[in-house]
Structure 1
Amino acid sequence: MVSTRLISGLLGGAIGIFLILTGGIPLLLAAFVIAVAGLIEIRALFSRKGLSPDAWVMIPGGVLLLIAGYLNAGVYVVHVAALVILASLATQLLRRGAYEALAGASGTAFGTLYVGLPMAYLLMLRNLPGGAGYLMGALLAVWASDTGAYFGGMWLGRTRLWPRVSPNKTLEGSIIGICVAVLAVVLVNHLALASGWWSALPVSHAVGLGVLLSLSGQLGDLCESALKRDAGVKDSGRFLPGHGGALDRFDSVLFAAPIAYYYIKFFVAVI
């Protein structure tokens, strides 16, 4: 299991770096694959609770959100999100009438936006000036935070962080995860300064962004853990061998992506 997890992680990381540096259509197609897998998984979680979110809204809605993000059209992302909400209720009424209309429409809209909206922000982050470096740094920070929190909690964890949601996570692990995330952003920032490949951040922003990405990523992890616990499953799927489903691998990223985009856009891009 460890070797499978390591091999798939290294291979996925190498492919991810290539796609981030390449950008364009290859990155968009990869985002499609991840988003569709995540949408299928979140729908399956709802199904375990007896609900049936509408896949005919979720998949097209998620794809349209990604296309809007790829086109760097933030206003259209908002328009698509609004259409998803309206379509969720309309299709629920057409399919099942008033029966579970509130639950079905809410599940469809939530599932689509939970996965599709953050993925659109990842593409918009890549489209910013210097976006390849920002996106790479954000992903590295989030996954470094996850790794630091995991091993930090394993070695030094004593205080349970949120036992009702994720009993194995600890406060000490969370703090170590924040420190590792800051270190990751600072290292990427140093690489940017040394290579000149992309725009480097002021050190204060690198530290601040590392803290925010770690905190938002940990919150995303806890939220997905709550969804899985409610659905009675350990993993959301089998998207990546040894790592579980797409949501298991990208749950932290879903919460961190909008934070990274708006931080860079409003606090860094104007410098």
Structure 2
Amino acid sequence: MFITRLISGIILVALSLLFICTGGDVLLAVMLVLSLIGMFELYRIFDVEKKLPGIFGYVSCITYYLNLKFHFSEDVMVIMLGFLIALLGVYVFAYPKYHAHQIMAAFFGLFYVGVMLSFLYQTRMLPQGQFIVWLIFLCSWGSDTAAYCVGVLFGKHKMSPILSPKKSVEGAIGGVVGAMLFTAIYCIAITNIFTLESINIVPLVVMAGIGALISMIGDLAASAIKRNFEIKDYGKLIPGHGGVLDRFDSMIITAPLIYFLAYYIYL
């Protein structure tokens, strides 16, 4: 199991490097595919993955990503509102075929997975985005790795005994500090390698700390949904890791946070 997880992790990191460095339409297409798979995993819990509410969700997600590319509407709320009206139409005219929670889950899935994950692409497309985007990974995967190591060595106080019994307060602190340390090292490295003068390390390190803290909420929220429905993993796409939502659960929250911190504070 460990070897499988390790190999999958290495492949995942390699693919991330490839797609993030490439950026542009390639990254946009990859994020769309990941979003659709993630939505399918979430919709499956509510039994709408192959039904009309879910299909409308996939179409709306594709429309949203096409809008990121072609900018046919400056206001994303047009897409969200259109999807909501379509869902309510399905709910009303097919009543009582679908339950209210299925309709709400279909709308939630588009925003929670499709829209939130898209901020990884949007961060990459910012000025200096080729450097800033890696903060999302450092806050999510880097923080998770640091939290695990510190938790194993020093963890004594449970952070969330019911949702995640293995996570500790000490591990959480280690995760935040680790993400900030990784980011500082990363910033120093890229400054020297690319001879950059415009990279301001301090705000990026602070952003990493905030992102690492918020990523834990994303992780625990995804765990809460799984516990509510008594499932172990969202999917089996990534051997040893589960599905897209299992691997990107913290990144779903971290990506938009880093984007807006970078857009309004750093740049």
Normalised by the length of structure 1, the TM-score is: 0.90
Q: CA deviation at 1:128?
A: 0.5
Q: How does 1:98-113 map to 2 (within 5 A)?
A: 98=96, 101-113=99-111
Q: Is the 8 A contact 2:155 2:168 kept in 1?
A: yes
Q: How does 1:145-160 map to 2 (within 5 A)?
A: 145-160=143-158
Q: How does 1:144-223 map to 2 (within 5 A)?
A: 144-196=142-194, 201-223=199-221
Q: Which moved more, 1:28-37 or 1:59-68?
A: 59-68
The one-character-per-residue Cα deviations of 1:121-156 (angstroms, maximum 9, x if unpaired) are 111111101111111232133111111112222222
Q: Is the 8 A contact 2:140 2:250 kept in 1?
A: yes
Q: How does 1:243-254 map to 2 (within 5 A)?
A: 243-254=241-252
Q: Distance in 2 between matches of 1:9 and 1:162?
A: 26
Structure 2 counterpart of 1:85: 84
Q: How does 1:1-271 map to 2 (within 5 A)?
A: 1-47=1-47, 54-70=53-69, 75-94=74-93, 96-98=94-96, 101-196=99-194, 201-269=199-267
Aligned residue pairs, count: 266
Identify unmatched segments of 5+ residues in structure 1: none
> Helix, strand or coil: the match of 1:169?
strand
Quickly say closer, same or farther: Cα 1:131–1:71, change in 2 above 3 A.
Answer: farther
Q: Distance in 2 between matches of 1:101 and 1:75?
A: 33
Q: Is the 8 A contact 1:66 1:119 kept in 2?
A: no
Q: Give the AA of the match of 2:153.
A: W
The one-character-per-residue Cα deviations of 1:224-251 (angstroms, maximum 9, x if unpaired) are 0000000101111112111111001000
Q: CA deviation at 1:84?
A: 2.5
> Helix, strand or coil: the match of 2:9?
helix
Root-mean-square deviation (CA), in Å? 2.3
The one-character-per-residue Cα deviations of 1:13-45 (angstroms, maximum 9, x if unpaired) are 111111111112211221122111101110112
Q: Distance in 2 between matches of 1:198 and 1:45?
A: 47
Q: Is the 8 A contact 1:119 1:254 kept in 2?
A: yes
Q: Is the 8 A contact 2:19 2:27 kept in 1?
A: yes
Q: Is the 8 A contact 1:138 1:185 kept in 2?
A: no
Counting aligned pairs with the same residue, the percent is 29
Q: Is the 8 A contact 1:181 1:211 kept in 2?
A: yes
Q: Give the AA of the match of 2:240.
A: G
Q: Give the AA of the match of 1:123.
A: Y
Q: CA deviation at 1:81?
A: 2.4
Q: Is the 8 A contact 2:135 2:258 kept in 1?
A: no
Q: Distance in 2 between matches of 1:194 and 1:74?
A: 40
